[in-house]
Structure 1
C-alpha cells in the first residue's frame, strides 16, 4: 500500500490529464508491452507533466507552513482530550483555533486572487506537480515522526514488524510545543486544500467558458461544507477515534498530506479536463441536479449532527463540553439526557439520537456524500467514483477493527449494546 498507492495516484493523474478519465491499459500484456506501458505511458508523462518544480514546492509547502503557523499562533479555545492509557490516563490539551484560521484563509485567498498576487487557478494549472510535492512530503513527514519519536522513546503498541509499525505509526500524539501534529495534519491541510482544488477548477471553468455551471458549484459547495464542518466543531475532534486511538503513522500522515486532497478531488479535476478538451461543460437535467443537491445536503445534515451528538456526549462525560455558536448550528446536534448503556469498564455507550438508529450513522452519511460527488459528474469515467469505492473499503475495514476492539473491551456489555442497536449502517438493512 505504501508503494502502490502513490503509483495509483500517478496512474489516475495520467488517465485524467491525457485520456479524459479513461482507464488506460497496456496494448499487450507481454513483458515488452508492460515495460513500454509503464515507461512510455506512465513514467515519461509523469516526468514531463508532474515533476515537483519550484513553483509547486512554493505552493504546497507554503500552504503547509502557513497552516502550521496559524495552528500554533492564532487565538482559540483550549479543550481536553480523553484520558490516554499510554500516558497513564493523562488528558492532553488541544488549542482549537480552526474558525479564525478558516475564515482568515478564505478572505486572504480572495484578496490574493483578485489582486493577482496569487491566482488560485495556478493550483489547477500545476495540479500534477503539486501532487508530487505532496507525495514526497507525505513520505518525509512519516519518516521524520517515526524516527524522532523512536529516539525520544515514545513508541508504543509496536508489533515488531517494521513495515506494519511504520504504516500504522509508532507514536500516538507527536507534538511540537502545544501543536499536536496529528490533529493539525487531519484538520488544517487536507480538507482546505481539497476545497481550494475545487475552487481552482471552477475558476478555470469560468476562464474558459465564461460561466460557473451547476456541477462545478456543487463540488465547491460540497467541499466547503466538509471543511467548514470540521473547523466549526474542532473542539469535538480531540475525543474522536483518530486522535484518541490511532497512532500517527504513514496511514494517517500520507493520507492527510497527499491522499485526501489529491484523490478526493478527482470529480473536480475530471470535469475541468473534460471541459478543456471538449469545449463543453458537463450538465444535467434540472430534476437530476435538484436530487443531487438534496442528497448532498441531507447527507451533510446527518453527518454533521451525528458527529456532533456523539462527540458532545463524550465531551460531557469528559467534562470538556463547551457551548459554541459557530455557523451553522443544526437542529438535533446536541442531545440532552440521551439514553446510553453503562459498561462495567466505566465507559458509556450512546444509544440516543442517530446512535440509537444505527451504530455508524456518520459513516452512512459519509458514503451518501461521496457517491453524490461521483454522480454529479455523470457516468463518463470511473475516476470520480474512486473516492466512494475506496471509502466503502476503508470504512468497512475500520468498522471491523472497531467491533473487534469493542467486543474484547466491553464483553457482555457490547452484546447488550448490539441487541439495543442491531444495525451498523442502515436500519433494517445492514
Structure 2
C-alpha cells in the first residue's frame, strides 16, 4: 500500500518534488555516472531477495490456502496470465487518455505519458460485470482464478524474471539511454536486480509505469473478487469481513488509478531503475500477498458483527484521516496557502522551510503512521486466529522503515546542520512517542 503521495518528510514552499523525487539536469556532468553506493548490501542482498521473496510467496500459499491437486507448473494458468498481461497492453493503446509530461530528466528532456489507467480499470470491471449477467453469476473467469491460483503465482514470477532480463539487455541498446543512479554498478546481477535503465519504454509505452499500476494492481482486485465468489460457492453467503476486505482494498486500488498522474513524481518513476525488484514487486508480490486476507476468509469466514465492523472501520478512518490530512497540510504549506500560515518552521540555508508544528511537528513521517494504521485495519478483518493474514502489516512496516531511512540519509546530506536541528525538535520518526 505504498502511498501515491510524495514521501518526503520535509516541507518546502519552493519545492514541488521531494529531494529524492527531483532529478537534477546534468549540466557539464556525466549523464550516467557510475553507481558508488549499492542498496540491499549489493550482490549478496540482491541474490537473497531474488531467491527469498518468490520462496516466501509459495510458503504463504501452502501455509494458507493450498488447493488439493493444484499444480505449480500450470500451462492453462500461464496462458491465462499472458492473455491478462498483453490484454492490458492492448487496452493501453485502445482506451483513450490524456497525455502528460513527466518530470525533467537529467538531459533536460521530458517523457510523454498516456494517463488511462482508470479508464482501463473501468473497462475491466465493466467486462466482469457483464460476464456476471451473461453467466447468471457463475463467472467462470473468477472460478478459474481461484482454482489456478498456484499456477498464476508461478506464471507471474516467471514473467517477472523474463521481463527483468528484457529491460536489462535493452538498456545497452542506445548510448543516450538514461540509467538509474542506483543501477549502474557494472555488476550484471545487481544491475539486473535493481534496474539499470531509468525509464525502459517502447514508444510512449512506459514499461515501469504500466507495471506499477495495471497488471498486478488490477489482478489484486480480481483475486479478491474471486475469493468472495469462492466463499459464496462454499458457504452460500459472503461474510461481512469479506465485504469489508474487498471494499477497503478496492478503494485503495481505484484511488491509485484515479491518481495515476501523481506517480510521475514518485521515487519509483523519477529515481529508481526498473529491474527484477520492481517487476517482481509489481507483478507477483502485490497481487499474491496483498490478497492473503480474502484468501483466508474464503475458507474461514469471519463474522465481525456490528461491533467488530465499527472497530475496524474506526481504525481505518483514523489512519486515513492522519494520512490524508497530513499530506494535505504539507501540500498547502508548499503552495503558500494562508490556512497554514500559523505553522512554525525552520528556515534552512538551502532556502527550504521545514515544518516543526502541526502534523509534521509530531513525527517526521506522520503520513507513514496513518498509512500503517490503515494496513492494520485491512488485516484485522480476519480476526486473530492466524498471524499469516497480518503479513501485509508487518511487510508494510518494514517497507516504511526502509523508506524512512532512505529519506533520512538524503535529507541529512542535503540539509546538514539544519537537519540535525530539525531532528532535535521533531524527535520521532514515524510513530509518536515510540519510534
TM-score range, shorter chain: 0.7 to 0.9
Work out whether residues 174 and 248 of structure 1, in 8 Å CA contact, stay in contact via their aligned partners in 2: yes
Report 1:152-231 matches (<5 A): 152-153=174-175, 154=177, 155-157=179-181, 158-231=184-257
Report 1:61-210 matches (<5 A): 61-84=82-105, 87-116=106-135, 118-153=140-175, 154=177, 155-157=179-181, 158-210=184-236
Work out whether residues 373 and 384 of structure 1, in 8 Å CA contact, stay in contact via their aligned partners in 2: no
- Superposed CA deviations along residues 254-274 of structure 1, whole A, max 9, x for unmatched, are 110101110111111112133
- Counterpart-to-counterpart distance in 1, 2:308 and 2:386: 18
SS of the counterpart of 1:95? strand
Tell me the equivalent position of 2:377.
372
- Counterpart-to-counterpart distance in 1, 2:338 and 2:79: 45
Work out whether residues 180 and 271 of structure 2, in 8 Å CA contact, stay in contact via their aligned partners in 1: no
User: If the length of structure 2 is used for normalisation, what is the TM-score?
Assistant: 0.78
1:7 to 46, 55, 79: 55
Task: Could you tell me which runs of 5 or more consecutive residues in structure 1 were left unpaired when the two chains were aligned.
Answer: 20-44, 275-280, 318-333
2:276 to 250, 266, 291: 250
User: If the length of structure 1 is used for normalisation, what is the TM-score?
Assistant: 0.79
Displacement of 1:209: 1.8
Alignment of 1:286 with 2:342, yes or no, is: no
Displacement of 1:247: 1.5
- CA distance change for structure 1 residues 352 and 121 in 2, over 3 Å: closer, same or farther? farther
Work out whether residues 191 and 223 of structure 1, in 8 Å CA contact, stay in contact via their aligned partners in 2: no
Tell me the equivalent position of 2:6.
none
- Counterpart-to-counterpart distance in 1, 2:328 and 2:116: 18
- CA distance change for structure 1 residues 204 and 168 in 2, over 3 Å: closer, same or farther? same
Displacement of 1:175: 1.3
Aligned residues: 378
The structure carrying a bigger helix percent of its residues is: 1
* Runs of at least 4 residues off by over 6 Å: 311-314, 334-342, 350-353
Alignment of 1:388 with 2:369, yes or no, is: no
- Counterpart-to-counterpart distance in 2, 1:353 and 1:229: 26
Work out whether residues 9 and 263 of structure 1, in 8 Å CA contact, stay in contact via their aligned partners in 2: yes
Task: Could you tell me which runs of 5 or more consecutive residues in structure 2 were left unpaired when the two chains were aligned.
Answer: 1-48
2:288 to 238, 248, 262: 262
- Counterpart-to-counterpart distance in 1, 2:124 and 2:390: 29
- Counterpart-to-counterpart distance in 2, 1:356 and 1:68: 44
